[in-house]
Amino acid sequence: MKNMMHKSLLALAIGAGMTSLSAQAEITIGLAGPVTGPVAQYGDMQFIGAEMAIEQINAQGGVNGEMLKGVKYDDACEPKQAVAVANQIVNDGVQFVVGHLCSSATQPASDIYAEEGILMITPASTSPTITEAGYETVFRTIGRDDAQGPVAGRFIAEHIKPERMAIIHDKQQYGEGVATAVRDTVEEAGVNVVVFEGITAGQQNYSSLVSKLKRENVDFVYYGGYHPELGLILRQSKELGFDAQFMGPEGVGNPDISKIAGEASEGLLVTLPQAFETDPKNAELVAAFEAKNQDPSGPFVMPAYTAVQLMAEGMKATESTDPYEVAEYLHQNTFDTPIGEVKYDESGDLEEFNFVVYNWHADGTKSKADTGEAQSDAAQ
């Protein structure tokens, strides 16, 4: 009896396999990023952007007569799981991947994709080493830490001019990378960095660190990492009477930081990609997101949309789904996208990508930081 059930299940499975084979007029795009885990909301930004692009491209008839299909893969922002996900993507025969999100997850996954000839565009990973490996099928639609770090560093050196600065990071590829880039820039400009230290992500008590910063009379703190830890550091700083100015990269620019830190998040400085959703050129797209009740303002939404668009344009122009041909086309051409004009250099990095400094507010909103020149658009 049991045996028979096994057989009929097997038959069913084979049948299902065959129907999916016959409906092959689809190009699958793997959407890899954290569906679960402490930074899952950044994954959501990436997913809604990519899914919107897939939907709009399909509405216009798809690519070369075939429809695009997005399939989510969850790496939980963990390097180990990212490798498992990448292998699964290989086994599923997927040739195009938008992802991953966290640099430490993207790094090992990209090795697998490059080896298997899969085209990968990450809309969020900013660590320079990802594209430095020189893979021809690996791209990104976001800036690099060594672009973001200097933006933050120059802002600090020119507008804040701290007397005693501290740089804290979470010892992960992304956090430490951007923190190091900031340190190099500010030290060159002559800023006095008195503390450069790592913390353990996931820990909750930072009172010892905060007391130390207070004793060192630090007046400015740069944090490289994500919002859960910085939120706690801000909260405990307030509790312990430490009132320096804080700053972080786009990984802390999330309304959740205001939920965690409350009042203490007021005035935090954050470097974020330009607010693409305020570009009048994108008004139609923003309306499409809003019609679906989705928020287009997350830093990775438009880059993810762009990643899918680039793949589709490449496939259309080369009339093929061969990742190498598409990659070559991406390297050689210039594209008009929601994140502006996209042109790739040899390594798969954008030739131009701007980070802008914002002021974060306790209600989870942000406004452009006053740099003396851009006062007119300070309120948004």
Question: CB-wise, 164 or 331, nearer to another protein?
Answer: 164
- Neighbouring C-alpha atoms within 13 Å toward the C-beta of 20: 11
**Bridge partners (DSSP) listed for residue 139:** 121
- Counting contacts by CB under 8 A, is residue 88 touching another protein? no
| CA-angle at 41, arms to 36 and 44, nearest 5° | 90
We find the least distance from the C-beta atom of residue 366 to another protein, in angstroms, to be 19
Question: CB-wise, 37 or 273, nearer to another protein?
Answer: 37
We find the least distance from the C-beta atom of residue 351 to another protein, in angstroms, to be 35
**Under rule CB under 8 A, which residues in 280-299 are in contact with another protein?**
none
- Counting contacts by CB under 8 A, is residue 180 touching another protein? no
We find the least distance from the C-beta atom of residue 76 to another protein, in angstroms, to be 8
- Cα 246 from Cα 238, distance rounded (Å): 12
Q: Is-contact 173 104, C-beta < 8 A?
A: yes
User: Exactly one of 9, 11, 18, 36 binds another protein (CB under 8 A); which one?
Assistant: 36
We find the least distance from the C-beta atom of residue 285 to another protein, in angstroms, to be 26
We find the least distance from the C-beta atom of residue 134 to another protein, in angstroms, to be 32
**Under rule CB under 8 A, which residues in 218-277 are in contact with another protein?**
228, 231-232, 235-236, 239-241, 256, 259-260, 262
Question: CB-wise, 38 or 70, nearer to another protein?
Answer: 38
**Under rule CB under 8 A, which residues in 183-222 are in contact with another protein?**
197-200, 202-209, 211-212, 214-215
- Counting contacts by CB under 8 A, is residue 354 touching another protein? no
Q: Is-contact 195 173, C-beta < 8 A?
A: no
User: Exactly one of 171, 316, 331, 361 binds another protein (CB under 8 A); which one?
Assistant: 171
Q: Which span sits near another protein by CB under 8 A: 31-39, 59-67, 83-91, 137-145?
A: 31-39
Question: CB-wise, 242 or 355, nearer to another protein?
Answer: 242
Q: What is the Rg, in whole angstroms, of the alpha carbon atoms belonging to the chain?
A: 22
Question: CB-wise, 237 or 347, nearer to another protein?
Answer: 237
User: Exactly one of 29, 31, 33, 37 binds another protein (CB under 8 A); which one?
Assistant: 37
- Cα 127 from Cα 176, distance rounded (Å): 10
Question: CB-wise, 22 or 293, nearer to another protein?
Answer: 293
| Token code pair at residue 107 | 């790094």
We find the least distance from the C-beta atom of residue 141 to another protein, in angstroms, to be 25
User: What string of DSSP letters covers 315-355?
Assistant: HHHHTS--HHHHHHHHHH-EEEETTEEEEB-TTS-BS---E
CA distances (Å), origin 210, targets 55, 203, 213, 362 = 47, 14, 5, 21
We find the least distance from the C-beta atom of residue 248 to another protein, in angstroms, to be 16
- Cα 298 from Cα 127, distance rounded (Å): 19
Question: CB-wise, 70 or 198, nearer to another protein?
Answer: 198
We find the least distance from the C-beta atom of residue 81 to another protein, in angstroms, to be 13
- Cα 212 from Cα 187, distance rounded (Å): 21
Among the listed residues 178, 167, 184, the one whose alpha carbon sits nearest the alpha carbon of residue 355:
178
CB neighbour class for 14 (10 Å; exposed up to 12, middle 13-18, buried from 19): exposed
Question: CB-wise, 54 or 101, nearer to another protein?
Answer: 101
We find the least distance from the C-beta atom of residue 341 to another protein, in angstroms, to be 35
Q: Could you identify the residue written with the tokens 């400015």?
A: 220
Q: Is-contact 152 271, C-beta < 8 A?
A: yes
Question: How many residues at the interface with another protein, by CB under 8 A?
Answer: 34
- Please report which helix (H) or strand (E) contains residue 106, including its range: helix 103-116
Q: Which residues bind another protein (CB under 8 A)?
A: 36-38, 40-41, 171, 197-200, 202-209, 211-212, 214-215, 228, 231-232, 235-236, 239-241, 256, 259-260, 262
